[in-house]
Structure 1
Amino acid sequence: MGIIIQALIVVMRVEKEVNKGGLRDGTNVGRLSSFLYTHGGLQVEQIDSIKKGVYYVKQRNGAAYILKQYKSLAIIEQQWKLFDEISTTTIVPFTSFPNQGRILYGDHYYWTLAPYVPGKSLTFSDEKDRRDAVQYLDKFHTETKGISIYSPLLKQPLYEKLEHRLQKWKRTKRIFEKYGYDHLYSELNVLYELLLDRFTKLNWNKIEQNAIDQWMWTHGDVASHNFRRDANNMIRLIDFDLLSLSPHLYDWIQLGQRFLPFLDWKLDRLEAYFSEINIPKDAWLLGIAIPSDIIREWWHFLQQNHHKKIEQYLMKLQKTWEKRKIFVDDVNSVL
């Protein structure tokens, strides 16, 4: 009954947007529909904006897709190259448009199509979903390892990305001072720098080169919404925009950080989920301990222009930080 109601809500919302002639993000429905038909042979019945640049599209024959726009052609081409070589049900790859075109270009964007997977996203507050996320991410790593493609895109090492995130944090110092959270800013800043220094001193030349030599692929954004449980209880990974030839360690660090808030920042509980995964433990724990995820969420909050809620957010951040410090102490005790 719930699925039927949700489906009706989606249809009603789409019909409302179509009647207005535009979607939530300002996209003109008629213009987009005409473009998809003319250049891709896609006969659109419904279009719904999921978020900026991402649309749910239903064809007249009932087939449903996720339509996405990109500014970078190289990012799309890398994904297509990997999808052409992989044979697995673990991922949701691109599919060709009805006219067999793989990529459309229009309105200064490149456009791709992927099958829509009915189901629901995982939630990391649920123990089973956490275990399934580890299992299926490991499966993705295993099934893609060794796949070589021509001219892969290489991204900056993780420690450089973490340094860049720290610089973003430093630019917000005055906000903490304005609301009386100088101590929180200084404490997090000092600990971040100390942990990053230790992390940077690891043998990254060897770690990165090993990933390249063995053709190790990472998803790059292992948020819970990028794991979809379909009607057959199969987990499918979606959204490979950050796909890269990188150490698997990077995905495991990010997944560990995303689990932490739901494990009360307890080291032993976290390790239990990854006990059967082959991860260099010191590098993994150090990477998780660096509060880069806190800075990511803080920056995202500021980008959303929630200026009236800053003090409320900082109060919550202070409480989170107190628990995070205990986790860092636990990590230091085992390294």
Structure 2
Amino acid sequence: MNITIKFRGDDGFHNRLLSYLKQHLPFQILSLTPLRKNVYIVSLKDGFQFVLKGYSSLRRLKIQEVFTQSLKKAGFDYSYSFYSLPNEHRLFFESQYFGFLEYLRRGENTFYYDSMDHCQEGLTLLQSFHIASEKLVDSYRTILPAFHLIDKWEERLQQFQANAHVLSSFLQKEVIEGLIYWAEWSLTGLRQEKESLYSFPNVILHGDVAHHNFFRISTGELYLIDFDLISTGPSIADYLQYSNRILPFLSWSIKELSSFQLLQSYFQHPVFLYALAFPTDIFREWNRLVKEHTYNDVRKVRSVMELTLGQLDERLAFYKQLETNIN
């Protein structure tokens, strides 16, 4: 047996977990390899592998198990499945419930938002996910939280404003004030168009469409993974987040973004244009930096500074073009 550590963590915890698994699983375990916090690859002596993932509550684990199963029944096959143990035996170790996920072997062509083809491929997969999740939304309405875009962004703006005294050590006053201006402009428009916001199909939202949650498997197919942030809400919320994720790779070009056929209809709605002007990614990262007190970490600060300033001129020109288009 061995343990392969890919990130800094508690070696003692990994050894205790391995010992616990050997005692409670009817398998011969060869290795336990951490992928990220609370996620491990378990390799068995017969060559079989699966992913072990920890959840803070049994309810969270059960929702993930049932939801991925529901997705498959609704016709969405491009994700993993959960395995179940005999007699519904549950692994509970040091305040976490562990689930068993299908191991997906990574393909050579890693997915990233580095080309128009990749951006289109991810968008098409997200649309397929929504088509399936729309069939499930009524069944999960009382189980999953409802997503309220305006409330979430108002809170994010308030946190950014409250953190301004810390941020002033890193950003010029004009930059902070400019970002706040566009956030307030965006929210004003969203409040005016609130009824339109909820006119889009109600689906189960993925909630985290970062490139690393689109996974290329060894056969070349693209899978959608990690449903920890699912909620119910209008489909536009996922497409807004997706647009925000790919815009840096499109150099903040309205022409490039609107060239995706799936998004073209959204550009006819002012609510979509107002929402595109909210600097949610910048606010999220600075707020996290302050919350976690990691603003003394040079590497992390450099990353957030690059996010903020690296394409600031292009971003501001994009916002101004949105304003022109609405007017």
Give the TM-score taking structure 2 as reference length: 0.85
Counterpart among 5, 29, 42 of residue 14 in structure 2: 29
- 8 Å CA contact 2:201–2:235 kept in 1: the answer is no
- 8 Å CA contact 1:37–1:43 kept in 2: the answer is yes
Aligned partners of 1:244, 1:109: CA distance in 2, in Å? 22
- 8 Å CA contact 1:173–1:185 kept in 2: the answer is yes
Aligned partners of 2:63, 2:303: CA distance in 1, in Å? 42
Aligned partners of 1:223, 1:180: CA distance in 2, in Å? 26
One-letter amino acid of the counterpart of residue 153, structure 2: L
Aligned partners of 2:163, 2:78: CA distance in 1, in Å? 40
Q: 1:40 to 1:15 in 2, by over 3 A?
A: closer
Q: What are the within-5 Å matches in structure 2 for residues 168-317 of structure 1? A: 168-179=159-170, 181-204=172-195, 207=198, 211=202, 216-275=203-262, 279=266, 281-302=269-290, 303=292, 305-307=294-296, 309=298, 310=301, 314=305, 317=308
Matched, 1:63 2:54: no
Moved over 6 A (4+): none
Give unmatched runs, 5+ long, in structure 2.
none
Give unmatched runs, 5+ long, in structure 1.
1-10
1:58 is paired with a residue whose SS is strand
Aligned partners of 1:316, 1:239: CA distance in 2, in Å? 24
Q: What are the within-5 Å matches in structure 2 for residues 140-151 of structure 1? A: 140-147=129-136, 148-149=138-139, 151=142
Question: How far did 1:123 drift?
Answer: 0.6
Query: Equivalent residue for 1:124?
Result: 113
- 8 Å CA contact 2:156–2:283 kept in 1: the answer is yes
Question: How far did 1:323 drift?
Answer: 1.6
1:118 is paired with a residue whose SS is coil
One-letter amino acid of the counterpart of residue 114, structure 1: L
Matched, 1:166 2:157: yes
1:68 is paired with a residue whose SS is strand
Question: How far did 1:196 drift?
Answer: 1.2
Question: How far did 1:51 drift?
Answer: 1.5
Question: How far did 1:330 drift?
Answer: 1.4
Deviations 1:125-169 (A, max 9, x none): 232221110111111111222124363222340111111111221
1:178 is paired with a residue whose SS is coil
2:143 is paired with a residue whose SS is coil
- 8 Å CA contact 1:125–1:262 kept in 2: the answer is yes
Cα RMSD (Å) of the superposition?
2.9
Question: How far did 1:223 drift?
Answer: 0.5
Deviations 1:75-118 (A, max 9, x none): 32222232232323212232224x36375322111211211211
Query: Equivalent residue for 2:122?
Result: 133
Counterpart among 284, 309, 320 of residue 318 in structure 1: 309
Identity %, equivalent residues: 23
Q: 1:210 to 1:222 in 2, by over 3 A?
A: closer
1:146 is paired with a residue whose SS is helix
Counterpart among 81, 84, 100 of residue 113 in structure 1: 100
Give the TM-score taking structure 1 as reference length: 0.83
Between 1:99-108 and 1:304-313, the stretch displaced more is: 304-313
Aligned partners of 1:268, 1:262: CA distance in 2, in Å? 13
1:186 is paired with a residue whose SS is helix
Question: How far did 1:277 drift?
Answer: 6.9
Aligned partners of 1:102, 1:224: CA distance in 2, in Å? 34
One-letter amino acid of the counterpart of residue 126, structure 2: L
Q: 1:299 to 1:103 in 2, by over 3 A?
A: farther
Deviations 1:49-93 (A, max 9, x none): 122111122122222222111113333222223223232321223
One-letter amino acid of the counterpart of residue 157, structure 1: H
Question: What count of residue pairs does the alignment treat as equivalent?
Answer: 314
- 8 Å CA contact 2:205–2:237 kept in 1: the answer is yes
Q: 1:240 to 1:289 in 2, by over 3 A?
A: same
Q: 1:307 to 1:246 in 2, by over 3 A?
A: same
Q: 1:267 to 1:276 in 2, by over 3 A?
A: closer
Aligned partners of 2:113, 2:53: CA distance in 1, in Å? 26
Query: Equivalent residue for 1:329?
Result: 320
Counterpart among 66, 74, 91 of residue 59 in structure 2: 74
Aligned partners of 2:95, 2:319: CA distance in 1, in Å? 46
Question: How far did 1:26 drift?
Answer: 0.5
